[in-house]
Amino acid sequence: MKLVAPELPGYDAFEWEKLPLPARARAVCEAWCRQGYGSPAALYVAYLLKVLAFVALWFFFCSFSPGLGSVSDFSRWWSDPIGFQKAVLLMTLLEGLGVAGSSGPLTGRYVPPFGGSLYFLRPGTQKLSLAPRSPLFGGTRRSIFDVVLYAVTVVTLVLALTSAVIPKAFFVALAVLIPLLGLADKTVFLAMRSEYYWPMILCFAALPSWIAGVKAVQLAVWFWAGVSKLNHHFPTVVAVMLSNHPLMRSRWLRRRLYVDFPKDVRPSKATTVVAHTGTAFELLIPLVLAFATGGWPLALGLTLMVMLHLFIFTAVPMAVPLEWNVVAVYGGFALFYAHPEVSFWQIAAWPVAAVLFVTLVVVPLVGNLFPERVSFLASMRYYAGNWPYNIWLFRGTSHEKLGALRGSSRWVYDQLERLYPPAVARALGSMVMGFRMMHLQGRALTELLPRAVDRLEDYQYVDGELIAGIVLGWNFGDGHLHNERLLGQVQAECGFEPGELRCVCVEAQPLGRSTMAYRIYDAATGLLEEGKLDVNAMRERQPWDAP
Protein backbone atom coordinates (compact mmCIF):
# COMPACT_ATOMS: atom_id res chain seq x y z
CA MET A 1 0.00 0.00 0.00
CA LYS A 2 1.40 3.37 -1.00
CA LEU A 3 2.06 5.91 1.72
CA VAL A 4 0.04 8.80 0.29
CA ALA A 5 -1.97 7.54 -2.70
CA PRO A 6 -5.32 5.86 -1.92
CA GLU A 7 -6.02 2.31 -3.03
CA LEU A 8 -8.62 2.46 -5.78
CA PRO A 9 -11.33 -0.10 -6.64
CA GLY A 10 -10.84 -2.08 -9.80
CA TYR A 11 -13.34 -0.19 -11.94
CA ASP A 12 -13.70 3.10 -13.77
CA ALA A 13 -15.87 5.21 -11.46
CA PHE A 14 -17.48 7.20 -14.30
CA GLU A 15 -18.49 3.98 -16.06
CA TRP A 16 -19.54 2.47 -12.73
CA GLU A 17 -22.03 5.31 -12.20
CA LYS A 18 -23.79 4.35 -15.45
CA LEU A 19 -24.40 0.75 -14.36
CA PRO A 20 -27.77 -0.49 -13.11
CA LEU A 21 -28.04 -0.81 -9.36
CA PRO A 22 -27.33 -4.58 -8.96
CA ALA A 23 -24.12 -4.39 -11.01
CA ARG A 24 -23.04 -1.19 -9.29
CA ALA A 25 -23.69 -2.65 -5.85
CA ARG A 26 -21.82 -5.87 -6.59
CA ALA A 27 -18.75 -4.08 -7.91
CA VAL A 28 -18.44 -1.71 -4.94
CA CYS A 29 -19.18 -4.38 -2.31
CA GLU A 30 -16.55 -6.71 -3.75
CA ALA A 31 -14.10 -3.80 -3.72
CA TRP A 32 -14.85 -3.11 -0.06
CA CYS A 33 -14.25 -6.76 0.84
CA ARG A 34 -10.85 -6.65 -0.88
CA GLN A 35 -9.56 -3.29 0.36
CA GLY A 36 -11.98 -1.46 2.63
CA TYR A 37 -12.24 2.27 1.99
CA GLY A 38 -8.76 2.27 0.47
CA SER A 39 -7.34 5.07 2.63
CA PRO A 40 -3.60 5.76 2.25
CA ALA A 41 -1.32 4.72 5.09
CA ALA A 42 -0.40 8.34 5.77
CA LEU A 43 -3.99 9.04 6.77
CA TYR A 44 -3.84 6.57 9.67
CA VAL A 45 -0.56 8.12 10.78
CA ALA A 46 -2.29 11.51 10.78
CA TYR A 47 -5.09 10.18 12.98
CA LEU A 48 -2.54 8.69 15.39
CA LEU A 49 -0.72 12.04 15.58
CA LYS A 50 -4.04 13.72 16.30
CA VAL A 51 -4.59 11.40 19.27
CA LEU A 52 -1.08 12.14 20.53
CA ALA A 53 -1.84 15.86 20.21
CA PHE A 54 -4.95 15.32 22.34
CA VAL A 55 -2.86 13.61 25.04
CA ALA A 56 -0.33 16.45 24.89
CA LEU A 57 -3.14 18.99 25.30
CA TRP A 58 -4.38 17.11 28.34
CA PHE A 59 -0.90 17.23 29.89
CA PHE A 60 -0.80 20.95 29.09
CA PHE A 61 -4.11 21.75 30.79
CA CYS A 62 -3.25 19.52 33.75
CA SER A 63 -0.05 21.54 34.23
CA PHE A 64 -2.17 24.51 35.38
CA SER A 65 -2.94 22.50 38.53
CA PRO A 66 -0.04 22.29 41.03
CA GLY A 67 1.53 18.84 41.10
CA LEU A 68 -0.07 17.74 37.80
CA GLY A 69 1.05 17.79 34.18
CA SER A 70 4.63 16.57 34.52
CA VAL A 71 5.42 13.68 32.21
CA SER A 72 8.35 12.55 34.36
CA ASP A 73 6.21 11.79 37.41
CA PHE A 74 3.01 10.83 35.61
CA SER A 75 2.80 7.64 37.71
CA ARG A 76 2.30 9.80 40.80
CA TRP A 77 -0.55 12.07 39.67
CA TRP A 78 -2.40 10.22 36.85
CA SER A 79 -5.28 9.21 39.15
CA ASP A 80 -5.78 12.68 40.64
CA PRO A 81 -9.51 13.57 40.38
CA ILE A 82 -8.72 16.92 38.77
CA GLY A 83 -6.83 15.12 36.03
CA PHE A 84 -9.90 13.06 35.18
CA GLN A 85 -12.16 16.11 35.32
CA LYS A 86 -9.90 17.90 32.88
CA ALA A 87 -9.96 14.91 30.53
CA VAL A 88 -13.77 15.08 30.47
CA LEU A 89 -13.81 18.84 29.94
CA LEU A 90 -11.15 18.67 27.23
CA MET A 91 -13.10 16.01 25.34
CA THR A 92 -16.29 18.07 25.64
CA LEU A 93 -14.41 21.05 24.20
CA LEU A 94 -12.72 19.19 21.34
CA GLU A 95 -15.87 17.29 20.38
CA GLY A 96 -17.84 20.54 20.47
CA LEU A 97 -15.26 22.24 18.25
CA GLY A 98 -15.57 19.31 15.81
CA VAL A 99 -11.90 18.33 15.88
CA ALA A 100 -12.09 15.03 17.80
CA GLY A 101 -14.41 12.31 16.47
CA SER A 102 -16.21 13.05 13.19
CA SER A 103 -13.24 14.78 11.63
CA GLY A 104 -11.10 14.00 8.62
CA PRO A 105 -11.57 11.80 5.53
CA LEU A 106 -12.95 8.78 7.41
CA THR A 107 -16.02 10.89 8.19
CA GLY A 108 -16.39 12.34 4.70
CA ARG A 109 -14.48 15.55 5.50
CA TYR A 110 -11.62 16.56 3.27
CA VAL A 111 -11.31 20.33 2.83
CA PRO A 112 -11.75 21.56 5.51
CA PRO A 113 -11.16 18.40 7.57
CA PHE A 114 -13.72 19.38 10.23
CA GLY A 115 -16.93 21.37 10.59
CA GLY A 116 -18.19 21.97 14.12
CA SER A 117 -17.13 25.43 15.24
CA LEU A 118 -16.84 26.61 11.61
CA TYR A 119 -20.65 26.29 11.57
CA PHE A 120 -21.58 26.75 15.23
CA LEU A 121 -19.89 30.18 15.34
CA ARG A 122 -21.43 31.33 12.07
CA PRO A 123 -24.88 32.99 12.07
CA GLY A 124 -27.22 31.84 9.33
CA THR A 125 -26.09 28.21 9.19
CA GLN A 126 -28.70 25.48 9.50
CA LYS A 127 -29.64 24.08 12.91
CA LEU A 128 -32.11 21.54 14.33
CA SER A 129 -33.85 23.17 17.27
CA LEU A 130 -35.75 21.05 19.79
CA ALA A 131 -38.14 23.99 20.17
CA PRO A 132 -38.41 25.19 16.55
CA ARG A 133 -41.25 27.66 17.27
CA SER A 134 -39.59 29.24 20.27
CA PRO A 135 -38.79 32.94 19.70
CA LEU A 136 -35.35 32.58 21.30
CA PHE A 137 -34.22 28.97 20.87
CA GLY A 138 -36.20 28.14 17.75
CA GLY A 139 -35.91 28.67 14.02
CA THR A 140 -33.97 26.77 11.38
CA ARG A 141 -31.05 29.17 10.98
CA ARG A 142 -28.42 29.88 13.63
CA SER A 143 -28.98 33.25 15.28
CA ILE A 144 -26.61 35.61 17.08
CA PHE A 145 -28.07 34.24 20.33
CA ASP A 146 -27.12 30.68 19.28
CA VAL A 147 -23.59 31.76 18.43
CA VAL A 148 -23.15 33.64 21.71
CA LEU A 149 -24.52 30.70 23.72
CA TYR A 150 -22.07 28.34 22.01
CA ALA A 151 -19.17 30.78 22.41
CA VAL A 152 -19.91 31.25 26.13
CA THR A 153 -19.87 27.46 26.57
CA VAL A 154 -16.52 27.16 24.78
CA VAL A 155 -15.01 29.99 26.85
CA THR A 156 -16.30 28.41 30.07
CA LEU A 157 -14.66 25.12 29.13
CA VAL A 158 -11.34 26.84 28.42
CA LEU A 159 -11.46 28.79 31.70
CA ALA A 160 -12.18 25.59 33.61
CA LEU A 161 -9.31 23.77 31.88
CA THR A 162 -6.86 26.54 32.73
CA SER A 163 -7.88 26.68 36.40
CA ALA A 164 -5.64 25.27 39.12
CA VAL A 165 -8.61 23.93 41.05
CA ILE A 166 -11.74 24.01 38.93
CA PRO A 167 -14.35 26.22 40.65
CA LYS A 168 -17.70 24.53 41.18
CA ALA A 169 -19.33 27.49 39.44
CA PHE A 170 -17.82 26.39 36.13
CA PHE A 171 -19.32 22.91 36.44
CA VAL A 172 -22.70 24.38 37.39
CA ALA A 173 -22.56 26.76 34.43
CA LEU A 174 -21.72 23.93 32.01
CA ALA A 175 -24.44 21.70 33.49
CA VAL A 176 -26.90 24.45 32.53
CA LEU A 177 -25.35 25.72 29.29
CA ILE A 178 -25.04 22.37 27.52
CA PRO A 179 -28.77 21.47 27.78
CA LEU A 180 -29.62 25.00 26.63
CA LEU A 181 -27.40 24.43 23.60
CA GLY A 182 -29.32 21.22 22.97
CA LEU A 183 -32.61 23.07 23.17
CA ALA A 184 -31.38 25.53 20.56
CA ASP A 185 -29.71 22.92 18.32
CA LYS A 186 -29.56 19.20 18.97
CA THR A 187 -26.64 18.97 16.54
CA VAL A 188 -24.36 20.88 18.95
CA PHE A 189 -25.60 18.84 21.92
CA LEU A 190 -24.81 15.57 20.16
CA ALA A 191 -21.51 16.91 18.80
CA MET A 192 -20.34 17.50 22.38
CA ARG A 193 -21.18 13.84 23.09
CA SER A 194 -23.40 15.12 25.86
CA GLU A 195 -25.08 11.77 26.45
CA TYR A 196 -21.71 10.71 27.92
CA TYR A 197 -19.92 13.81 29.20
CA TRP A 198 -22.84 15.94 30.40
CA PRO A 199 -23.97 13.48 33.14
CA MET A 200 -20.37 13.43 34.37
CA ILE A 201 -20.27 17.23 34.45
CA LEU A 202 -23.55 17.18 36.36
CA CYS A 203 -21.94 14.88 38.93
CA PHE A 204 -18.94 17.22 39.20
CA ALA A 205 -21.34 20.12 39.78
CA ALA A 206 -23.83 18.58 42.20
CA LEU A 207 -22.06 15.83 44.13
CA PRO A 208 -19.38 16.52 46.76
CA SER A 209 -18.11 12.98 46.14
CA TRP A 210 -18.73 12.42 42.45
CA ILE A 211 -16.87 9.15 41.81
CA ALA A 212 -19.97 6.99 42.31
CA GLY A 213 -22.06 8.98 39.83
CA VAL A 214 -19.37 9.01 37.16
CA LYS A 215 -18.87 5.27 37.61
CA ALA A 216 -22.57 4.82 36.94
CA VAL A 217 -22.20 6.76 33.68
CA GLN A 218 -19.30 4.65 32.49
CA LEU A 219 -20.99 1.38 33.43
CA ALA A 220 -24.16 2.40 31.59
CA VAL A 221 -22.21 3.22 28.43
CA TRP A 222 -20.59 -0.22 28.34
CA PHE A 223 -23.79 -2.04 29.26
CA TRP A 224 -26.10 -0.41 26.69
CA ALA A 225 -23.43 -0.64 24.00
CA GLY A 226 -23.46 -4.39 24.60
CA VAL A 227 -27.26 -4.62 24.66
CA SER A 228 -27.50 -2.77 21.34
CA LYS A 229 -25.41 -5.49 19.68
CA LEU A 230 -27.80 -8.31 20.59
CA ASN A 231 -28.98 -8.54 16.99
CA HIS A 232 -27.92 -9.83 13.57
CA HIS A 233 -26.45 -6.49 12.47
CA PHE A 234 -23.21 -6.52 14.44
CA PRO A 235 -21.40 -9.34 12.55
CA THR A 236 -21.64 -7.24 9.38
CA VAL A 237 -20.15 -4.32 11.31
CA VAL A 238 -17.14 -6.42 12.30
CA ALA A 239 -16.66 -7.66 8.73
CA VAL A 240 -16.81 -4.14 7.32
CA MET A 241 -14.51 -2.79 10.05
CA LEU A 242 -11.88 -5.51 9.67
CA SER A 243 -11.89 -5.16 5.87
CA ASN A 244 -10.87 -1.56 6.49
CA HIS A 245 -8.43 -2.35 9.33
CA PRO A 246 -5.14 -0.49 8.77
CA LEU A 247 -3.09 -3.40 10.19
CA MET A 248 -4.95 -6.18 8.40
CA ARG A 249 -3.53 -5.83 4.88
CA SER A 250 -3.73 -9.46 3.77
CA ARG A 251 -6.42 -9.94 1.14
CA TRP A 252 -6.48 -13.65 1.95
CA LEU A 253 -7.45 -12.86 5.54
CA ARG A 254 -9.98 -10.29 4.42
CA ARG A 255 -11.68 -12.85 2.21
CA ARG A 256 -11.93 -15.21 5.19
CA LEU A 257 -14.20 -12.60 6.82
CA TYR A 258 -16.95 -13.67 4.42
CA VAL A 259 -18.77 -16.93 3.74
CA ASP A 260 -17.51 -17.41 0.18
CA PHE A 261 -16.02 -14.30 -1.37
CA PRO A 262 -16.97 -13.07 -3.96
CA LYS A 263 -20.13 -15.18 -4.28
CA ASP A 264 -21.35 -14.79 -0.71
CA VAL A 265 -20.24 -11.73 1.27
CA ARG A 266 -22.27 -12.39 4.36
CA PRO A 267 -20.14 -12.60 7.54
CA SER A 268 -18.35 -15.92 7.96
CA LYS A 269 -18.67 -18.06 11.08
CA ALA A 270 -15.29 -16.81 12.32
CA THR A 271 -16.39 -13.19 11.91
CA THR A 272 -19.64 -13.91 13.71
CA VAL A 273 -17.71 -15.47 16.61
CA VAL A 274 -15.50 -12.39 16.83
CA ALA A 275 -18.60 -10.17 16.87
CA HIS A 276 -20.34 -12.17 19.60
CA THR A 277 -17.13 -12.21 21.64
CA GLY A 278 -16.99 -8.44 21.47
CA THR A 279 -20.62 -8.22 22.59
CA ALA A 280 -19.88 -10.54 25.50
CA PHE A 281 -16.94 -8.33 26.49
CA GLU A 282 -19.11 -5.21 26.49
CA LEU A 283 -21.69 -6.90 28.68
CA LEU A 284 -19.18 -8.57 31.02
CA ILE A 285 -17.08 -5.47 31.65
CA PRO A 286 -19.80 -3.48 33.47
CA LEU A 287 -21.10 -6.56 35.28
CA VAL A 288 -17.62 -7.33 36.62
CA LEU A 289 -16.45 -3.79 37.36
CA ALA A 290 -19.75 -2.80 38.99
CA PHE A 291 -19.08 -5.14 41.90
CA ALA A 292 -15.29 -5.70 41.83
CA THR A 293 -13.54 -4.27 44.88
CA GLY A 294 -10.07 -5.58 44.10
CA GLY A 295 -8.15 -8.78 43.39
CA TRP A 296 -8.73 -10.91 40.32
CA PRO A 297 -12.30 -9.64 39.57
CA LEU A 298 -10.99 -6.07 39.21
CA ALA A 299 -8.02 -7.27 37.17
CA LEU A 300 -10.34 -9.30 34.92
CA GLY A 301 -12.70 -6.39 34.34
CA LEU A 302 -9.90 -3.97 33.52
CA THR A 303 -8.19 -6.48 31.23
CA LEU A 304 -11.39 -7.05 29.26
CA MET A 305 -11.92 -3.29 29.10
CA VAL A 306 -8.44 -2.64 27.67
CA MET A 307 -8.79 -5.46 25.13
CA LEU A 308 -12.15 -4.15 23.92
CA HIS A 309 -11.07 -0.55 23.46
CA LEU A 310 -7.71 -1.53 21.99
CA PHE A 311 -9.52 -3.58 19.34
CA ILE A 312 -11.74 -0.62 18.48
CA PHE A 313 -8.87 1.87 18.55
CA THR A 314 -6.56 -0.11 16.27
CA ALA A 315 -9.38 -0.71 13.79
CA VAL A 316 -9.72 3.08 13.29
CA PRO A 317 -13.45 2.78 12.57
CA MET A 318 -15.34 5.21 10.37
CA ALA A 319 -16.40 8.24 12.46
CA VAL A 320 -13.01 7.79 14.23
CA PRO A 321 -13.98 8.06 17.93
CA LEU A 322 -10.33 7.45 18.84
CA GLU A 323 -9.95 10.05 21.59
CA TRP A 324 -13.17 8.76 23.14
CA ASN A 325 -11.64 5.29 23.43
CA VAL A 326 -8.51 6.72 25.06
CA VAL A 327 -10.61 8.54 27.67
CA ALA A 328 -12.74 5.45 28.28
CA VAL A 329 -9.64 3.39 29.10
CA TYR A 330 -8.18 6.17 31.24
CA GLY A 331 -11.51 6.49 33.03
CA GLY A 332 -11.61 2.75 33.65
CA PHE A 333 -8.38 2.97 35.63
CA ALA A 334 -8.94 6.42 37.19
CA LEU A 335 -12.38 5.40 38.46
CA PHE A 336 -12.39 1.65 39.09
CA TYR A 337 -8.73 0.86 39.76
CA ALA A 338 -8.00 4.01 41.77
CA HIS A 339 -11.29 3.93 43.73
CA PRO A 340 -12.41 0.28 44.09
CA GLU A 341 -14.02 1.08 47.46
CA VAL A 342 -16.64 3.37 45.85
CA SER A 343 -19.78 1.68 44.49
CA PHE A 344 -21.83 3.18 41.68
CA TRP A 345 -25.01 3.23 43.78
CA GLN A 346 -23.49 5.39 46.52
CA ILE A 347 -24.90 8.63 45.12
CA ALA A 348 -25.68 10.90 48.03
CA ALA A 349 -28.11 13.34 46.37
CA TRP A 350 -31.39 11.84 45.21
CA PRO A 351 -32.15 14.57 42.60
CA VAL A 352 -28.88 13.76 40.83
CA ALA A 353 -29.60 10.05 41.16
CA ALA A 354 -33.02 10.63 39.56
CA VAL A 355 -31.51 12.53 36.62
CA LEU A 356 -28.90 9.81 36.14
CA PHE A 357 -31.60 7.14 36.23
CA VAL A 358 -33.48 8.90 33.45
CA THR A 359 -30.42 9.54 31.27
CA LEU A 360 -28.68 6.22 31.90
CA VAL A 361 -31.64 3.83 32.12
CA VAL A 362 -34.92 5.26 30.84
CA VAL A 363 -33.65 7.06 27.74
CA PRO A 364 -31.50 4.15 26.47
CA LEU A 365 -34.29 1.67 27.16
CA VAL A 366 -36.80 3.75 25.20
CA GLY A 367 -34.22 4.30 22.47
CA ASN A 368 -33.66 0.56 22.05
CA LEU A 369 -37.37 -0.29 22.06
CA PHE A 370 -38.47 2.72 19.98
CA PRO A 371 -35.36 3.84 18.06
CA GLU A 372 -37.33 6.27 15.92
CA ARG A 373 -37.91 8.45 18.99
CA VAL A 374 -34.38 8.79 20.38
CA SER A 375 -30.95 9.48 18.90
CA PHE A 376 -28.80 6.37 18.75
CA LEU A 377 -26.18 8.32 20.71
CA ALA A 378 -28.56 9.15 23.56
CA SER A 379 -29.62 5.49 23.41
CA MET A 380 -25.95 4.48 23.77
CA ARG A 381 -26.28 2.14 20.79
CA TYR A 382 -22.67 2.66 19.76
CA TYR A 383 -21.33 1.11 16.55
CA ALA A 384 -23.86 -1.71 16.59
CA GLY A 385 -24.63 -1.41 12.87
CA ASN A 386 -28.28 -0.84 13.69
CA TRP A 387 -28.40 2.85 12.82
CA PRO A 388 -31.05 4.99 11.16
CA TYR A 389 -29.73 6.21 7.81
CA ASN A 390 -30.84 8.18 4.77
CA ILE A 391 -29.85 8.29 1.12
CA TRP A 392 -30.27 11.55 -0.79
CA LEU A 393 -30.72 11.29 -4.57
CA PHE A 394 -30.05 14.40 -6.68
CA ARG A 395 -31.14 14.39 -10.31
CA GLY A 396 -28.44 15.60 -12.66
CA THR A 397 -26.68 18.67 -11.31
CA SER A 398 -29.51 19.71 -8.99
CA HIS A 399 -27.15 19.40 -6.00
CA GLU A 400 -25.78 22.79 -7.04
CA LYS A 401 -28.86 24.33 -5.42
CA LEU A 402 -27.30 23.50 -2.06
CA GLY A 403 -25.08 26.50 -2.74
CA ALA A 404 -27.93 28.63 -1.36
CA LEU A 405 -27.10 27.31 2.12
CA ARG A 406 -24.50 28.97 4.33
CA GLY A 407 -21.65 26.72 5.41
CA SER A 408 -17.93 26.03 5.26
CA SER A 409 -17.91 22.68 3.41
CA ARG A 410 -18.49 22.44 -0.32
CA TRP A 411 -20.01 19.56 -2.28
CA VAL A 412 -18.09 16.41 -1.33
CA TYR A 413 -16.67 15.81 -4.84
CA ASP A 414 -15.55 19.43 -5.01
CA GLN A 415 -13.64 18.82 -1.78
CA LEU A 416 -12.08 15.62 -3.10
CA GLU A 417 -11.09 17.21 -6.39
CA ARG A 418 -8.96 19.72 -4.50
CA LEU A 419 -6.82 16.72 -3.49
CA TYR A 420 -7.18 14.19 -6.33
CA PRO A 421 -7.98 14.02 -10.06
CA PRO A 422 -11.72 13.72 -10.85
CA ALA A 423 -11.54 9.98 -11.59
CA VAL A 424 -9.86 9.28 -8.24
CA ALA A 425 -12.33 11.53 -6.43
CA ARG A 426 -15.28 9.67 -7.94
CA ALA A 427 -13.74 6.29 -7.09
CA LEU A 428 -13.28 7.26 -3.45
CA GLY A 429 -16.81 8.64 -3.28
CA SER A 430 -18.21 5.41 -4.69
CA MET A 431 -16.85 3.46 -1.72
CA VAL A 432 -19.36 5.16 0.58
CA MET A 433 -22.08 3.11 -1.11
CA GLY A 434 -20.03 -0.01 -0.42
CA PHE A 435 -19.74 0.85 3.26
CA ARG A 436 -23.50 1.32 3.56
CA MET A 437 -24.60 -1.71 1.55
CA MET A 438 -22.19 -4.13 3.22
CA HIS A 439 -24.05 -3.63 6.50
CA LEU A 440 -27.15 -5.74 7.03
CA GLN A 441 -29.49 -2.76 7.06
CA GLY A 442 -27.96 -1.51 3.79
CA ARG A 443 -29.42 -4.51 1.95
CA ALA A 444 -32.72 -2.67 2.01
CA LEU A 445 -31.41 -0.33 -0.69
CA THR A 446 -31.74 -2.77 -3.58
CA GLU A 447 -35.45 -2.78 -2.76
CA LEU A 448 -35.94 0.89 -1.88
CA LEU A 449 -33.83 2.80 -4.41
CA PRO A 450 -35.86 1.50 -7.41
CA ARG A 451 -39.00 2.62 -5.58
CA ALA A 452 -37.56 6.08 -5.05
CA VAL A 453 -36.43 6.79 -8.63
CA ASP A 454 -37.07 5.19 -12.02
CA ARG A 455 -33.45 5.37 -13.21
CA LEU A 456 -30.73 5.56 -10.60
CA GLU A 457 -28.27 6.37 -13.38
CA ASP A 458 -29.91 9.80 -13.71
CA TYR A 459 -29.29 10.64 -10.05
CA GLN A 460 -26.30 11.26 -7.83
CA TYR A 461 -26.40 8.88 -4.88
CA VAL A 462 -25.23 10.65 -1.69
CA ASP A 463 -25.25 9.22 1.81
CA GLY A 464 -27.07 11.41 4.30
CA GLU A 465 -23.94 11.46 6.47
CA LEU A 466 -22.21 13.54 3.81
CA ILE A 467 -25.22 15.83 3.53
CA ALA A 468 -25.23 16.45 7.28
CA GLY A 469 -21.53 17.28 7.12
CA ILE A 470 -22.14 19.84 4.37
CA VAL A 471 -25.38 21.36 5.70
CA LEU A 472 -25.10 21.05 9.51
CA GLY A 473 -21.33 20.89 9.96
CA TRP A 474 -21.37 17.64 11.93
CA ASN A 475 -22.23 13.96 11.41
CA PHE A 476 -21.60 10.86 13.46
CA GLY A 477 -23.82 8.10 12.15
CA ASP A 478 -27.10 9.52 13.45
CA GLY A 479 -29.65 9.40 10.64
CA HIS A 480 -32.03 11.57 12.62
CA LEU A 481 -29.82 14.52 11.74
CA HIS A 482 -30.39 14.19 7.99
CA ASN A 483 -33.85 12.68 7.58
CA GLU A 484 -37.07 14.30 6.32
CA ARG A 485 -36.79 17.16 8.81
CA LEU A 486 -33.52 18.38 7.34
CA LEU A 487 -34.91 17.66 3.89
CA GLY A 488 -37.77 20.07 4.62
CA GLN A 489 -35.37 22.77 5.81
CA VAL A 490 -33.17 22.33 2.74
CA GLN A 491 -36.21 22.47 0.47
CA ALA A 492 -37.38 25.72 2.07
CA GLU A 493 -34.01 27.31 1.29
CA CYS A 494 -33.18 25.70 -2.07
CA GLY A 495 -36.52 25.10 -3.80
CA PHE A 496 -35.99 21.78 -5.59
CA GLU A 497 -38.47 20.94 -8.34
CA PRO A 498 -40.54 17.74 -8.13
CA GLY A 499 -38.34 14.77 -8.91
CA GLU A 500 -35.07 16.67 -8.50
CA LEU A 501 -34.37 15.45 -4.97
CA ARG A 502 -35.61 12.23 -3.40
CA CYS A 503 -34.73 10.91 0.04
CA VAL A 504 -34.86 7.29 1.27
CA CYS A 505 -35.12 7.15 5.08
CA VAL A 506 -34.50 3.86 6.90
CA GLU A 507 -35.03 3.52 10.65
CA ALA A 508 -33.16 1.25 13.04
CA GLN A 509 -34.54 -2.15 14.02
CA PRO A 510 -36.30 -2.01 17.42
CA LEU A 511 -34.98 -4.38 20.07
CA GLY A 512 -37.03 -7.58 20.09
CA ARG A 513 -38.70 -6.97 16.72
CA SER A 514 -37.77 -8.22 13.26
CA THR A 515 -38.71 -5.27 11.04
CA MET A 516 -37.28 -1.89 10.08
CA ALA A 517 -39.43 1.06 9.06
CA TYR A 518 -38.73 3.08 5.91
CA ARG A 519 -40.04 6.22 4.22
CA ILE A 520 -39.45 7.70 0.77
CA TYR A 521 -39.81 11.44 0.20
CA ASP A 522 -39.73 13.89 -2.66
CA ALA A 523 -38.32 17.22 -1.46
CA ALA A 524 -41.02 19.17 -3.27
CA THR A 525 -44.11 16.97 -2.92
CA GLY A 526 -43.55 15.17 0.39
CA LEU A 527 -44.06 11.55 1.42
CA LEU A 528 -44.23 9.09 -1.47
CA GLU A 529 -44.22 5.75 0.33
CA GLU A 530 -43.67 4.19 3.74
CA GLY A 531 -43.65 0.69 5.15
CA LYS A 532 -41.60 -1.95 6.95
CA LEU A 533 -38.85 -4.31 5.90
CA ASP A 534 -38.25 -7.88 7.09
CA VAL A 535 -34.74 -8.02 8.57
CA ASN A 536 -34.68 -11.84 8.47
CA ALA A 537 -35.28 -11.77 4.73
CA MET A 538 -32.37 -9.35 4.26
CA ARG A 539 -30.10 -11.75 6.16
CA GLU A 540 -30.58 -14.36 3.46
CA ARG A 541 -29.56 -12.26 0.46
CA GLN A 542 -26.46 -10.54 -0.84
CA PRO A 543 -26.17 -6.74 -0.80
CA TRP A 544 -26.74 -6.62 -4.56
CA ASP A 545 -29.69 -9.05 -4.69
CA ALA A 546 -33.15 -7.70 -5.40
CA PRO A 547 -35.85 -9.04 -3.03
Query: What tens digit of pLDDT does each residue of 142-175 get?
Result: 999 999 999 999 999 999 999 999 999 999 999 9
CB 198 within 8 A of CB 175: yes
Question: Quick one: average pLDDT of 124-129?
Answer: 98
- Say what the pLDDT of residue 3 is: 53
Which amino acid would we find at residue 209? S
What is the rounded distance in angstroms from the CA atom of residue 435 to the CA atom of residue 466? 13
Is residue 4 predicted with pLDDT exceeding 80? no
What is the rounded distance in angstroms from the CA atom of residue 57 to the CA atom of residue 126? 31
Is residue 91 predicted with pLDDT exceeding 80? yes
Is residue 485 predicted with pLDDT exceeding 80? yes
Q: Is 141 helix (H, G, I), strand (E, B) or coil?
A: strand
Is residue 129 predicted with pLDDT exceeding 70? yes
Measure CA of the first residue to CA of the last residue in the chain; give whole Å.
37
Banded pLDDT at 249 (limits 50, 70, 90) = confident
Q: For 366, how many CA atoms within 13 A lie in the half-sphere containing its CB?
A: 11
Angle at 401 between CA 397 and CA 406, to 5 degrees: 140
Question: Quick one: average pLDDT of 134-140?
Answer: 95
Distant-in-sequence, close-in-space partners of 350: CB < 8 Å, separation ≥ 6: none
Question: Quick one: average pLDDT of 63-81?
Answer: 96
Task: Please give the model's pTM, rounded to 2 decimal places.
Answer: 0.95
Average pLDDT over the chain, rounded to an integer = 96
Is residue 297 predicted with pLDDT exceeding 90? yes
Peptide bond into 235 cis (omega under 30): no
Banded pLDDT at 56 (limits 50, 70, 90) = very high
Query: What tens digit of pLDDT does each residue of 372-414 get?
Result: 999 999 999 999 999 999 999 999 999 999 999 999 999 999 9
What is the rounded distance in angstroms from the CA atom of residue 301 to the CA atom of residue 337? 10
Question: Quick one: average pLDDT of 510-528?
Answer: 97
Question: Quick one: average pLDDT of 254-268?
Answer: 96
Question: Quick one: average pLDDT of 92-96?
Answer: 98
- Say what the pLDDT of residue 248 is: 87
- The residue that leads in pLDDT, 4 or 209, is 209
Strands (E), 286-344: none
Banded pLDDT at 251 (limits 50, 70, 90) = confident
Query: What tens digit of pLDDT does each residue of 211-221 get?
Result: 999 999 999 99
Sign of torsion over alpha carbons 305, 480, 429, 140? negative
State how far the alpha carbon of 16 is from the alpha carbons of 22, 288, 364, 395, 430, in Å.
11, 50, 41, 17, 9
What is the rounded distance in angstroms from the CA atom of residue 367 to the CA atom of residue 384? 13
Q: Which of 7-11, 391-395, 463-467 has the lowest mean pLDDT?
A: 7-11
Interior/surface letters 245-279, b for 16+ CB within 10 angstroms, e for the rest: bbebeeeeebbebbbebeeebbbbeebbebbeebb
Banded pLDDT at 1 (limits 50, 70, 90) = very low
CA 478 centroid distance within chain? 7
Banded pLDDT at 242 (limits 50, 70, 90) = very high
Q: Is 354 exposed, middle or buried (0-12, 13-18, 19+ CB in 10 A)?
A: exposed
CB 139 within 8 A of CB 127: yes
- The residue that leads in pLDDT, 248 or 338, is 338
